[in-house]
Structure 1
Amino acid sequence: MRRILMTLAMVAGMAGCAGIDVQEYAAETPVLDLRRYFDGTLDAYGMFQDRSGKVVKRFHVVIEASWRGDVGTLDERFTYSDGTTQRRVWTITRHDTHRYGGVAADVVGEARGEARGNALRWRYVLALPVGDRTWHVDFDDWMFLMDERVMLNRSVMSKFGVRLGEVTLSFVKREAHALP
């Protein structure tokens, strides 16, 4: 009997770890259309916190984004607070009304995303250089469109299910300026 109770407790505990389904945000507005939001130039400001909550890195990203039909390119140029830089170019493909896939040079396999209402859940494995090694770490990103210009992003980074830290990011879409 004790073994059965322990098994039930473990199953209930694992179900609790499943998290929130992006469908929970289906009725939220404004509705996030990735092709519309990620079009043009955006600035993003962020930080990485280790699992203790200490801010380890701060950064600014300039994103040049464009789409051809259902395929988008996000050219991200990072500048970190220590002066180092990095570039990541995403190719995003819209699979249907709600589902997206993405590839980038340092992403292992294909990223998978689902958008509902004002939210996008974006999951992928990143090949992260750590010293002279490369770790494959899991990212679970949640993005929430606040208005036509601002989107907030919270990512949890983990390895083997162990939380390593979090990335907090604020995207701000630059206003298009008409030429004089």
Structure 2
Amino acid sequence: MRQLFLVVILALLTSCSTELTSYQGTQPAFAFRQFFNGHIKAWGMVTDYSNKLTRRFTTDIQASWQGNILTLDENFHYNDGSKQSRVWRITLDGNNITGQAGDVDGRAQGAIAGSVVNWHYVLNVPINNKNWKFKVDDWLYRIDDQVVINTSTLYKFGLPVGHVTLMMQKRK
């Protein structure tokens, strides 16, 4: 019974999320087009529901624009030697963003407010030869002209099951 109580409390606590509008006017403003342009290097980690480190990785990102369409070509290199690629096609419409990638169900949707971007999508993740779908709550925080920190929470059945933390640095 105690475990059920803890699961219910955890679900209630995680359902209260920060509203993106609370970041309106924060500085430095997220210059989405300027940051995501050219080469970006990133370092990250994956933790499980208990914040236990499960994976580390680096990512090389090539970002290019054609009109209001951003292509992010991401190449992940994990500490266990495995590699993964993801290509995002992201549309910027004012402060609204939508995007698609090969391992994302449907369209990612979100917005920019001040120095922060928040968007949501369903990510397909292969685990032990089975494809799992996780809802992702993805937050990007502009630190300065060169650095953005990205935190993502992955949910299954409405409960947080993992976190991804990523530090991105724009290369010249």
Fold shared, TM-score > 0.5 on shorter chain:
yes
Match of 1:59 among 38, 57, 67: 57
Question: What is aligned with 1:40?
Answer: 38
Cα distance in 2 between the residues matched to 1:16 and 1:39: 34
Q: Structure 1 residue 113: deviation in Å?
A: 1.5
1:1-180 aligned at under 5 Å gives the runs 17-94=15-92, 96-175=93-172
Q: When the two structures are superposed, what TM-score results if normalisation uses the length of structure 2? A: 0.90
Contact 2:73 2:85 (8 Å CA) reproduced: yes
Q: Structure 1 residue 15: deviation in Å?
A: 9.6
The number of residue pairs the alignment matches comes to 163
Over residues 31-54 of structure 1, what are the superposed CA-to-partner deviations in whole Å (9 max), with x where a residue is unaligned? 112211100000010000011111
- The RMSD of aligned alpha carbons is 1.7
Over residues 98-144 of structure 1, what are the superposed CA-to-partner deviations in whole Å (9 max), with x where a residue is unaligned? 11100000000000121010000021100110112101101101110
Identity level (%): 39
Q: Structure 1 residue 17: deviation in Å?
A: 2.3
Tell me the amino acid that sits aligned with residue 27 of structure 1.
Answer: G
Partner SS for 2:102:
coil
Cα distance in 1 between the residues matched to 2:81 and 2:155: 26
Over residues 69-120 of structure 1, what are the superposed CA-to-partner deviations in whole Å (9 max), with x where a residue is unaligned? 11010000000001110000000011x3111100000000000121010000
Tell me the amino acid that sits aligned with residue 40 of structure 1.
Answer: G
Over residues 7-45 of structure 1, what are the superposed CA-to-partner deviations in whole Å (9 max), with x where a residue is unaligned? xxx9xx969824111111111111112211100000010
Cα distance in 1 between the residues matched to 2:80 and 2:138: 24
Q: Summarize the Cα distance change of 1:82–1:14 in structure 2 as closer, same or farther, 3 Å threshold.
A: closer
Tell me the amino acid that sits aligned with residue 163 of structure 1.
Answer: P
Cα distance in 2 between the residues matched to 1:106 and 1:163: 20
Q: Summarize the Cα distance change of 1:137–1:16 in structure 2 as closer, same or farther, 3 Å threshold.
A: closer
Structure showing greater Rg:
1
Cα distance in 2 between the residues matched to 1:112 and 1:162: 20
Q: Summarize the Cα distance change of 1:16–1:170 in structure 2 as closer, same or farther, 3 Å threshold.
A: closer
Contact 2:14 2:159 (8 Å CA) reproduced: no
Q: When the two structures are superposed, what TM-score results if normalisation uses the length of structure 1? A: 0.86
Tell me the amino acid that sits aligned with residue 133 of structure 2.
Answer: H
Cα distance in 1 between the residues matched to 2:80 and 2:15: 35
